[in-house]
Amino acid sequence: MERRIGFLILLLIIRCGGERPSAADSHRKGGRVVSSLISPQNPTSITPIRVEITALSERNPAYRWTVNGITQDITSPKLLPKYFSKGDTVFCSVLIGGKEKKRIGPIIIGNGEPSIQSVKITPEAPRRGTDLKVEADVFDPDGDDVELITEWFINDEKKGKGSILSGSKIKVGDNVYAEVIPFDGVDKGLPRATNWLVVQNTPPEILSKLPAIKGREMDYEIRTSDVDGDKVSLSLLKAPRGMRLARNHLLWEAPELEKDTTFLIEIVARDGRGGETKTSFNLQLGRVKTE
C-alpha cells in the first residue's frame, strides 16, 4: 500500500512539472542574429546599401544606421545614397527587443563613377581645315573634376586621340565620330559615342582684285582657290555686251561711248559639288572726247 501511494505521488510530480523549454525556444525568446549579408559588398556614393539578416526572434528586428559616428533617422534595412558620400564610414546595428544584437561594419563608401549625359562634336558642319573638338555634359556624384578621354574615327578608322582632331586630317565627304570615356582620376565611366558628322564642301574663293582697263581693252585674270582641290569653273552672270570669259581670263574691248557709263559685272565660281562664290564690281568708262 505504501509503495502504491509513493508511485502515485512521483507520477503527479512528473506531470505537474511539464516539459522543459528547448535551447531553440530560449534563443527565440532572447533573440539572436544567425547570419548577416551586406550588398553591394563595395558600395559607392551612388549605390544604396542593403542589409539582409537571419534572426531567431519572436520580434521583428530594427536597424540603426550611423554615418561617421552620427546616427541617421533610418530604421529600415536600406540606406539611400543621400545619407552618405565618398569616404564616409557607415555602421549598421541590428536591434532585437531594443537591444543591439549585431553590429555590421565598418562600411567604407567608395568612389562613384562619372557618367556622360550627352556628347557632341563641334562645329556640327565642319569643313576641311576646321579643327574638331567634343563637348560633353558630364555628371560626377562626388563632385570630382572629370577628364574626357577621346578617340577619333574617320570613315571607321582610328585617326587620333585627344581633345582636338586637327582639321588637316579631314576632307570633304569624310564621316567623323568620336568615342568618349569620362575619368575622375580614380574610376572610368561607361564610354559614349557621338553622332556621325559629314565634312562639308568648301566653296571656292576668288582671289583677284578689281580689273583695270588699259586704253579700251581688258584682259583680267581671275585667280581662284579651292581647299578641297576641286576644279573651279567660272561664269558671267552680268556683263556688258561683248565681254567674255576665256578660261580664267575676262576679255573685253570697250566701245566708244558718248557719255560716262558705269557697267555692273558679276562673276560666279563653282566647284562642281554645289559650292559657289559670287563676286561683283562696277566698271566705269568715260565718254570719248571729240575735238
Measured CA to CA, the distance from residue 91 to residue 36 in angstroms comes to 13
Measured CA to CA, the distance from residue 276 to residue 206 in angstroms comes to 10
Question: Mean pLDDT across the stretch 205-222?
Answer: 84
pLDDT digits (tens, 9 = 90+) for 275-287: 999 999 888 887 7
pLDDT tops 90 at residue 109 = yes
pLDDT tops 60 at residue 26 = no
Q: pLDDT-derived band of residue 7, with 50, 70 and 90 as boundaries?
A: very low
Match 521583428 to its residue by C-alpha cell: 60
Mean pLDDT of the chain: 87
Per-residue pLDDT, 57: 79
Question: Mean pLDDT across the stretch 34-54?
Answer: 92
Q: pLDDT-derived band of residue 209, with 50, 70 and 90 as boundaries?
A: confident
pTM of the model: 0.71
pLDDT digits (tens, 9 = 90+) for 144-165: 999 999 999 999 999 999 999 9
pLDDT tops 80 at residue 23 = no
Measured CA to CA, the distance from residue 155 to residue 208 in angstroms comes to 36
Per-residue pLDDT, 34: 83
Measured CA to CA, the distance from residue 82 to residue 152 in angstroms comes to 37
Question: How do strand 175-183 and strand 197-198 relate by DSSP bridges?
Answer: antiparallel
Per-residue pLDDT, 256: 84
Query: 28 by DSSP, 3-state: which?
Result: helix
Q: pLDDT-derived band of residue 100, with 50, 70 and 90 as boundaries?
A: very high
CB 234 within 8 A of CB 207: no
pLDDT digits (tens, 9 = 90+) for 174-185: 999 999 999 999
Question: Mean pLDDT across the stretch 49-67?
Answer: 90
Q: Which helix (H) or strand (E) holds 3?
A: helix 2-17
Question: Mean pLDDT across the stretch 213-220?
Answer: 82
Question: What CATH number does the domain located at 205-285 have?
Answer: 2.60.40.10
Question: Mean pLDDT across the stretch 20-47?
Answer: 72
**pLDDT above 90 coverage of the chain, percent:** 71
Architecture of domain 27-108: Sandwich (2.60)
Per-residue pLDDT, 154: 98
Q: pLDDT-derived band of residue 52, with 50, 70 and 90 as boundaries?
A: very high
Per-residue pLDDT, 198: 97
Q: pLDDT-derived band of residue 291, with 50, 70 and 90 as boundaries?
A: low
Question: What CATH number does the domain located at 115-198 have?
Answer: 2.60.40
Q: Where are the domains of the chain?
A: 27-108, 115-198, 205-285
Q: pLDDT-derived band of residue 288, with 50, 70 and 90 as boundaries?
A: low
φ and ψ at residue 10, rounded to 5 degrees: -65, -40
**pLDDT above 70 coverage of the chain, percent:** 88
pLDDT tops 50 at residue 9 = no
pLDDT tops 90 at residue 24 = no
Q: pLDDT-derived band of residue 14, with 50, 70 and 90 as boundaries?
A: very low
Comparing 27-108 with 115-198, is the CATH topology the same? yes
